[in-house]
């Protein structure tokens, strides 16, 4: 191994360590709260680990029934080893996504490195790979979705892994088979992957076709394995398992086809809006109200990315005739808005349905940066440019971390955010086990029952803990009640004695712990 290779590996390890640190730092307390989707993944992983069945008693399901629809399996099964090691907790559930998000940094390095080797720019391959890994490590879009335990971050990891395998298959035939499996595995990460996986597979197949390195035997074997891997998806679609969620988010069937196409195009284009990418992001985009999916005052990518993204796209377009593999970044960029554009987005692009953008923009930005350096021969100019780029990303990254860790927890805590409170409520209930006949949780939630299961998986509460409404409060019963301020206003004449207050991170009351007598 040469000195340059040792340096490249050392720098990659350092970048990956930085990426891991910013993804895991205070991850158990920020995001402030624990959403029902995270609790569902964690609890089902726990029941799979302890019983081999999900919460509904199904043995090793392919798709998981959850909150009235079905969800993809990879996030559930990935969480199992972390729960086995660290127990059922918010931290263990989020460690799964932290780990996958961190591994994506390494895979992005491998993809970009191989891309530059294939286009005969091996001289810049390690540099480009390190730049790409560095950009992804500090990317606000990717960091944000790597820090909570939902399924979104798995899609870019598997797609990027498949893309790298396709590039490797140009020189190593059997990698085409692995690329085929990984492309269809995208379908099992997050529901938009059901569409994006096959599209990516077909597009990738034609991109590497001109290189003609794969034998017919390998190609047909890969296609057959891909079809077999896709079969459970077809079955689930046929029996309407996967259509449950789709029926809630698809474009209006009652609209004329022309109107649906027009809406799709409009929504697709909005994903390239400077408002979404550089200034407002998801949270402050006009028409959006959810606070879980972004930080106020921060776009999905940094402003400094802008010029290099444009240069990267131009370079890919100009070089794709000579080097067909340069279509890979364009393919990923093309696919990125589709998952969000084929659904009702209530006023613009959603960062979670278009999560593929979290890797698409770092890739093309890296190509743009590397192109600039390849055109500059003066080493002093290269040094100055390096410092300016480093400074630009450093300031942007520092600002994002400040907003995320000091401001974001203060406004992302309530119903439109992470619905903070069930953990502390359930701890209070369990600490007071046996003292009351009933323990009532009254508040505003999405699917609140899952929190009773997650925070009390062995049923210590013995079914005395339950989700309730204000009508379930009775002065003549022994009840310990956790009630939100909004619900409290609905019972002004009821005699309740407040025992303590569970505060939001901003100090406002999240729940009153009260007794009915």
Distance between CA atoms of residues 321 and 510, nearest Å: 59
Per-residue model confidence (pLDDT) at position 345: 58
Distance between CA atoms of residues 182 and 186, nearest Å: 6
* Banded model confidence at residue 181, pLDDT cuts 50, 70, 90: very high
Asked if pLDDT for residue 68 goes beyond 80, the answer is: no
Per-residue model confidence (pLDDT) at position 494: 67
Which range is most confident: 203-217, 232-246, 282-296, 304-318? Answer: 304-318
Report, in this order, helix, strand and coil percent for the chain, each rounded to 5.
60, 5, 35
User: If DSSP codes are grouped into helix, strand and coil, which group holds residue 151?
Assistant: coil
pLDDT one-digit tens code per residue, 420-447: 999 999 999 999 998 999 999 998 888 8
Per-residue model confidence (pLDDT) at position 223: 94
* Residue written as token pair 């394995």: 225
- What is the SS3 assignment for 39-107? HHHHHHHHHHHHHCECCCCCECCCCEEECCEEECCHHHHHHHHHHHHHCCCHHHHHHHHHHHHHHHHHH
pLDDT one-digit tens code per residue, 364-385: 999 999 999 888 888 898 899 9
Burial class for 471, CB neighbours closer than 10 Å (0-12, 13-18, 19+): exposed
Average pLDDT over residues 170-192: 94
- Listing DSSP states for 326-348 in one string gives GHHHHHHHHHTTHHHHTB--SSS
DSSP structure class, residue 250: B
Per-residue model confidence (pLDDT) at position 348: 73
Model's pTM, two decimal places? Answer: 0.95
Asked if pLDDT for residue 517 goes beyond 80, the answer is: no
Per-residue model confidence (pLDDT) at position 5: 84
Per-residue model confidence (pLDDT) at position 254: 65
In this structure, the strands spanning 509-515 and 479-483 are: antiparallel
Distance between CA atoms of residues 266 and 342, nearest Å: 11
Per-residue model confidence (pLDDT) at position 124: 92
Contact by Cβ (8 Å): 249, 344: yes
């Amino acid at each position: 191994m040469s000195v340059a290779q040792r340096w490249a590996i050392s720098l990659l390890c350092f970048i990956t360590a930085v990426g891991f640190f910013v993804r895991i730092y205070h991850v158990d307390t920020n995001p402030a709260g624990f959403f029902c989707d995270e609790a569902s993944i964690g609890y089902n992983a726990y029941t799979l680990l302890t019983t081999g069945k999900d919460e509904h008693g199904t043995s090793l399901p392919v798709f998981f029934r959850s909150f009235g629809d079905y969800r993809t399996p990879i996030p559930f099964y990935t969480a199992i080893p972390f729960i086995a090691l660290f127990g059922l907790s918010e931290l263990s559930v989020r460690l799964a996504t932290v780990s996958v998000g961190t591994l994506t940094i390494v895979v992005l390095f491998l993809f970009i490195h191989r891309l530059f080797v294939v286009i005969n720019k091996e001289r810049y391959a390690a540099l480009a790979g390190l730049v790409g890994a560095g950009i992804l490590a500090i990317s606000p879009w990717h960091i944000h979705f790597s820090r909570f335990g939902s399924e979104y971050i798995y899609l870019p990891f598997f797609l990027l892994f498949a893309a790298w395998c396709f590039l490797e298959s140009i020189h190593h035939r059997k990698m085409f088979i692995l690329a085929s499996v990984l492309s269809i595995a995208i379908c099992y990460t997050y529901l938009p992957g059901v569409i994006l996986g096959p599209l990516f597979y077909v597009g990738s197949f034609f991109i590497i076709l001109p290189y003609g390195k794969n034998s017919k035997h390998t190609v047909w074997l890969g296609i057959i394995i891909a079809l077999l891997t896709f079969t459970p998806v077809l079955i689930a679609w046929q029996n309407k398992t996967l259509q449950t969620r789709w029926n809630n988010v698809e474009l209006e069937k009652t609209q004329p086809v022309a109107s649906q196409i027009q809406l799709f195009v409009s929504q697709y284009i909005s994903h390239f809006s400077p408002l979404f990418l550089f200034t407002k992001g998801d949270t402050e985009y006009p028409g959006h109200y959810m606070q879980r999916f972004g930080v106020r005052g921060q776009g999905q990518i940094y402003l400094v990315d802008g010029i290099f993204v444009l240069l990267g796209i131009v370079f890919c377009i100009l070089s794709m005739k000579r080097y067909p593999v340069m279509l890979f970044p364009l393919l990923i960029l093309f696919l990125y808005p589709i998952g969000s554009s084929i659904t009702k987005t209530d006023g613009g692009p959603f960062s979670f349905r278009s999560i593929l953008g979290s890797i698409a923009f770092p890739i093309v930005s890296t190509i743009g940066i590397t192109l600039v350096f390849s055109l500059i021969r003066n080493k002093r100019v290269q040094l100055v440019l390096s410092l300016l780029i480093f400074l630009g990303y450093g300031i942007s990254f520092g600002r994002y971390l400040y907003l995320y860790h000091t401001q974001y927890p203060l406004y992302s805590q309530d119903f439109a955010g992470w619905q903070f409170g069930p953990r502390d409520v359930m701890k209070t209930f369990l600490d007071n086990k046996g003292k009351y006949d009933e323990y009532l949780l009254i508040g505003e939630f999405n699917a609140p029952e899952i929190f009773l299961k997650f925070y009390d998986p062995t049923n210590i509460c013995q079914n005395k803990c339950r989700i309730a409404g204000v009508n379930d409060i009775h002065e003549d019963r022994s009840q310990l009640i956790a009630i939100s301020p909004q619900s409290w206003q609905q019972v002004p004449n009821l005699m309740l004695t407040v025992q303590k207050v569970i505060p939001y991170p901003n100090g406002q009351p999240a729940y009153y712990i009260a007794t009915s007598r």
